[in-house]
Amino acid sequence: MKFIVSEVQTTVEGTVAILNHTKDTRNEADSTYYSILASAAISQLPSHGAIMYTNEGGYIMGQAYTHAQPEPEPEPEPSPEPETV
């Protein structure tokens, strides 16, 4: 049996990237999984996480971090034209 760790990243634009890592042992898979989560915890991406499962389709665990994104700057209100008399 092989173990697969998928790193899932979502950008501000909404693009999703999935990077797969195949490992021979559970210890190697755990190491990769927790390394990804350590990076995801401090990531600037809106969503960043990892999923671990087997090549036989068995789900083991998964976790993702959702990070608040800065609000866009509001558009300044146009100043009224001065009245001419």
pTM, full prediction: 0.78
Alpha-carbon distance of 37 to 21, in angstroms, equals 14
pLDDT at 24: 98
> What is the mean predicted confidence (pLDDT) over 15-25?
97
**Roughly how many angstroms between the first and final C-alpha of the chain, as a whole number?**
85
Does 85 have pLDDT greater than 70?
no
Retrieve residue 67's tokens. Answer: 């990070």
pLDDT one-digit tens code per residue, 21-79: 999 999 999 999 999 999 999 999 999 999 999 999 999 999 999 988 777 778 887 77
- Domain map (residue ranges) of the chain: 3-66
Per residue, the 3-state secondary structure of 4-69, as one string, reads EEEEEEECCCCCEEEEEEEECCHHHHHHHHHHHHHHHHCCCCCEEEEEEEECCCCEEEEEEEECCC
